[in-house]
Amino acid sequence: MSNSNKDSRVLETTLAFLLGAVTGAILGLLFAPTSGRELREKIGTSAAKTGEKIKEGYGKIAEEAGKGIETIKKKTREGVEAIRGYVEKKKAKEEEEK
């Protein structure tokens, strides 16, 4: 399995988990027997905690994406260098044959 597929699955899983956590928290609060004031406080607290989790998850995802981009850049440079080397060898061989 390639790194991009693996990274994509990790991203999808993380986002699905976060969405499920948020949905579960909201439903739990809405069905709990509490007053409107308490419910608003709980929703506010839960939203703040979820926001922090999302920021952490986004930070991790951004970090992994950055690593992926660096890997792509490195592999592209290596490919370009390999092509240059090949072209130079071909030119040198053609020059020798003349």
Distance CA 40, CA 14 (A): 27
Q: Domain of 87?
A: 3-97
Number of independent structural domains in the chain: 1
Q: What is the pTM of this model?
A: 0.46
Distance CA 31, CA 29 (A): 6
Per-residue pLDDT band at 64 (split at 50, 70, 90): confident
Cβ(60)–Cβ(28) below 8 Å? no
What's at 56, amino acid-wise? E
Per-residue pLDDT at 76 exceeds 60: yes
| 3-class DSSP string for the chain | CCHHHHHHHHHHHHHHHHHHHHHHHHHHHHHCCCCHHHHHHHHHHHHHHHHHHHHHHHHHHHHHHHHHHHHHHHHHHHHHHHHHHHHHHHHHHHHHHC
26-42: per-residue pLDDT in tens?
787 777 777 778 877 87
